[in-house]
Structure 1
């Protein structure tokens, strides 16, 4: 592979970007500066001009926002039209004759620009964005050479800067009030955090009542990207200077998979700018992807391999060769003494496809067992099972863009504004255009009452009753004759459908019969069901609030039943769409990380599949599924499981019932942890292999819409090896030879062995930007929408989904139900985001509790409380919140000191063992201890730093 960087100038795109014109578009012919052109009806004069490569000066206009016409710099002359209209807001007309350049126009533009410059600091040589400033560019474009107006009159040159946001500065003195930031906040993010206050000379951009941090700003960076001057500038640019070149890569946070331009000076990363050509995000971002990349060079990074004989001994820093040799000898010793099944591995949903593929290959071919699993076990394994059973493929059905054609959207068990904010922005845009929204969630999430958006129905069910609600919705649709009978007859297995129809039509599944269990008024269910069934296009989006239940798989299948019954699978604007949590959860599953499946979701019991992989790998693959993560823990405690390789997962913090997890890890004879930080799991490790961040490697991620996107190396691995190189070294030391010189060769092997990836290559990804699998001879450029015409499995399968109440019940001792989730600024267990300035917004996890429940217990807002369950007890600050319903409490799990998974139980999904994180019976009381909780957090951080210092001390 050729390493190359693109100069910033070559990456600039504007209104001249090519566009696809639909066959049925009404074309309009006109002349611009003497050049004839035909463009679709509704095109602006500015856009038409740019298609002729005629660039009209502008300041308020941008290809990302609706036309506004406030700057008056883009004025043109149009034959037969009075005055000088703005090109950005004037639509083309048949026979129109436009002049974009004349002496009169030039003079007018210079006068306009002169007015802007007369109230703008003339510090270009020392300005942070010198050379990357549109105001500067446009002054040159209009030929401004002097400013006749003095600066001694009334002006804005001494306005104070707003430095409240940790990532960018608002310098009001450089603001030209073009409103691009305001419109970006409204149109792109849908947040409405910025406004224009005052009129005329007194107009100014305002963020809340005081500053950005006191406003509704979510720090997505849309305003910064839209600003044509230095008024809004990244602090990294102010400190390091303007970047000179960039590479395209993919964000390593959530499952949206945003594309970014990693912009650099030399080999130093200056900023991450969302890529306008990114198909998942289309130039948008959130606070994490846009700004929270500082963890990659944080002082806590462990950059040297370390080993120790036992976990009660200090770490010793060693060379890569010594660490790999030590690990290999330990694992070989276990295999010789206890057999291959005493070993296993866990792949990472944060690593690349190529790296997870190698880990499962190492376990199967190097260790000689199918004991491999992934963190998807504890999040989206029910998605794989449920969608494979009903639709025939273990993945979502379409693109994020598809929501723009939805007429009614169900969001169930997901909080997109916090967990998947870039998708949430697209959803809110569609809702503002008139689409209807149904939210099914025990908590009042933001999108229920977002700015200028309101859910028509919020079904605030009791935790653990998803299946009951979904069955009740389906009951209404079937018994009222609202199903799509033609679709069902054409697309679905009628035997399975009739069995399901008989089941779902029973009165016991009616909204009235389910009301006591769900806590939801029957009429609310009926009204929501009718609205969804009658919509032309109905789409369903769901998250961990669906899968992390004892009936997670049943819930996923119930969602698929609902979609098929209403004919909402197989075209744009509809579908069953899982919102994946981590950046490569989909990819880690695709790559064969489950103990019963090889890459491409093919079962290990299939002789032909085993022969295919065994022949390519030169080994005999076991025909029995291996151990799942919970089974590994149980086997370790029982003494049958002795060695584990964990790549990029902190199972001692993220898995349920932490006491049980720690007991299992303590029982291992060899635990190899590969990560970028010394995490909670590493406390039980014998070998620590330093990991590499997404900025230090080449590879691919696969997002929630099956989009395979490029991850490209921005800097050399700080530890000396990318993760895939460490896995290769370990495999070779174990005696199973792997020979790869670049991750592209790994992808070539994946494509050769996996039908849905047959057409995938780095060359094609670079050419197309990204590819949605299946990509093969039938779909050489990928498959944006699945199940068109027919389902992957042929006929869709309805499945009977009996509602079975969770075993986790409330009682007098534990009268409340605890459910968990995420918050916008933090990510997963917080290992990355806690090491960035994102902690300004979320310094600690808190327990949200309804005012009535708080009053009954004498709990005050901000006070320290204890949360006790059948599994354990933790302490947290309280947050009294009307978002909760009485009887339900909520917290996040981003801080190790919180220990939230100490209280979660081992209850799990009946089909996949996905833990029931979302339903834990608890009691909440005022903490007996008087210690200030802020002091407790500080002490924990100090302990962590002391542990890190001791661990990384050179004891050679």
Structure 2
């Protein structure tokens, strides 16, 4: 469609007509949006939930599709098959605003409800019911890393795009495709060029015109080579092909897959710099730690999951510590780049000059509520993308096949493990791990197992067990969950002790975007006594 951002606004959710949630657990991981979905249900919305676990919102769903791990594409193709076969799609929208429709029709022909049922483990009746509900009214889609953190994650997103385009749920209120970002400024960091192939505004480093534009703006010579993804960085570091790494506000010693490999990679560097507000597990390995300021101690902007650019204001002074932008500016000056920025607001003005989506941005128009990009000439922002037509001109159907998982069960590793967050902690607990009340609610690492599987393996509630994958082993505490599939385990990744990501791998990668298949790990468990 021409943009990878959330297409619609958060405020629309409460009055939505149909909501499809897949690969996301909003009530725990995005509680504000999760609460609005709950309100929408009370207001009469139809809710479809697809997840291998019975998440909180599954209890409110009109249809709960408890699918096998990693079978998202098959499920979506099955819904598309039903919608086309039963003539429920938006023919006028498809004709006017899309291309490659016939290829989609060909591909989904084999994805009958019966075929998909065998792949996904969901009854054909529920697949048909979900398809009919989704196509019955304007519908919105919410997804997160349960879709993306797979070997075929990009194709999973494209499949959701196919579904939305098919029913004309693009560019309309209460519709759209809404990726829920994992942290408060993920959207903003990507907008600002925090990607290996992009300058700010998703302008590609290998485009000569774009390169020339930024060379003139910054008065420097720039490379046109794409940078490394995080797995590539760690691989190269472990082979002494990457000498120095500068990590800001990130804790890969807990959050990244295959922590033993991460530790080896970081220790193999000639020089590691970590810039953070606390001495994280990663900072403890650093050669130099640069203390940083928290959100309450600095000025600037965040851009949230709905593309809303919001002011961040300093309310607490902290002597002896500089804001992130000033640390970077100081290093640039020491390295010979003479530009000296005087404030975060000055940088915001530069952002508005070089980033198309942010054109027209200034502190006055985001003073109270913020504004969703693109800002536009009227400076009122854009709550809904693709209103007249998709940004790229016509929405492109991208037919995608279901693929085999990167890692499968075998006699040595007979179970699959997936992972995510819980309500009480934020990412690697750098902040929330210091709150007594949250630690009382969720004090340590645990693994969710179906009670029937617990009986089969002769393990009990709260028992400490060993979990082993191809990459490592950990000790963790057992907690029963009747809402999980019997051959599937779940762990939150928040905890440094009993870290889930000791088990996960970075060797099975989505070749289109470089993301590892974090959501699928083959494991076995062993009793300690």
Secondary structure at 1:463 match in 2: coil
Q: CA deviation at 1:610?
A: 0.6
Does 1 or 2 have the higher relative contact order (CA < 8 Å, sep 6+)? 2
- Counterpart residue number, 1:75: none
Structure 2 length-normalised TM: 0.98
The aligned runs of 1:461-472 (5 Å cut-off) are 461-472=67-78
Between the aligned partners of 1:411 and 1:893, the Cα distance in structure 2 is: 21
The aligned runs of 1:538-617 (5 Å cut-off) are 538-617=139-218
* Partner deviation per Cα, 1:628-665 (whole Å, 9 max, x = no partner): 11111121222221011111101121110111111111
- Counterpart residue number, 1:753: 354
- Counterpart residue number, 2:268: 667
- Counterpart residue number, 1:35: none
- Counterpart residue number, 1:188: none
The aligned runs of 1:118-267 (5 Å cut-off) are none
The aligned runs of 1:488-503 (5 Å cut-off) are 488-493=94-99, 496-503=100-107
Between the aligned partners of 1:825 and 1:670, the Cα distance in structure 2 is: 35
Q: CA deviation at 1:727?
A: 1.1
Q: Supply the RMSD in Å over aligned alpha carbons.
A: 1.2
Matched, 1:414 2:24: yes
Q: Which has the larger radius of gyration?
A: 1
- Counterpart residue number, 1:867: 467
Matched, 1:891 2:491: yes
Matched, 1:397 2:3: no
Q: CA deviation at 1:447?
A: 1.2
Q: CA deviation at 1:416?
A: 0.8
- Counterpart residue number, 1:455: 61
Matched, 1:487 2:93: yes
Between the aligned partners of 2:2 and 2:30, the Cα distance in structure 1 is: 26
Preserved contact between residue 467 and residue 524 of structure 2 (Cα < 8 Å): yes
Secondary structure at 2:302 match in 1: strand
Secondary structure at 2:217 match in 1: helix
Matched, 1:819 2:414: no
Matched, 1:520 2:122: yes
* Structure 1 spans left out of the alignment, 5+ residues: 1-390, 929-956
* Partner deviation per Cα, 1:676-711 (whole Å, 9 max, x = no partner): 111111232111000110000001111110000111
The aligned runs of 1:654-693 (5 Å cut-off) are 654-693=255-294
Choose from 43, 47, 52 the match for 1:433: 43
Between the aligned partners of 1:481 and 1:776, the Cα distance in structure 2 is: 38
Please list every run of at least 4 consecutive aligned residues from structure 1 whose deviation after the TM superposition is greater than 4 angstroms.
Answer: none
Q: CA deviation at 1:404?
A: 2.8
Secondary structure at 1:781 match in 2: coil
* Structure 2 spans left out of the alignment, 5+ residues: none
Secondary structure at 1:840 match in 2: helix
Between the aligned partners of 1:673 and 1:595, the Cα distance in structure 2 is: 19
- Counterpart residue number, 1:511: 113
Secondary structure at 2:478 match in 1: strand
* Partner deviation per Cα, 1:50-90 (whole Å, 9 max, x = no partner): xxxxxxxxxxxxxxxxxxxxxxxxxxxxxxxxxxxxxxxxx
Between the aligned partners of 1:542 and 1:462, the Cα distance in structure 2 is: 17
* Partner deviation per Cα, 1:510-552 (whole Å, 9 max, x = no partner): 2211222211111211111111111x21111011111111111
- Counterpart residue number, 1:904: 504
* Partner deviation per Cα, 1:375-433 (whole Å, 9 max, x = no partner): xxxxxxxxxxxxxxxx1012010101122332111110111110111111111111011
Between the aligned partners of 1:673 and 1:539, the Cα distance in structure 2 is: 40
Preserved contact between residue 374 and residue 382 of structure 2 (Cα < 8 Å): yes
- Counterpart residue number, 1:477: 83
Q: CA deviation at 1:502?
A: 1.7
Secondary structure at 1:820 match in 2: strand
- Counterpart residue number, 2:329: 728
Q: CA deviation at 1:718?
A: 4.9
Between the aligned partners of 1:621 and 1:429, the Cα distance in structure 2 is: 50
Preserved contact between residue 365 and residue 379 of structure 2 (Cα < 8 Å): no
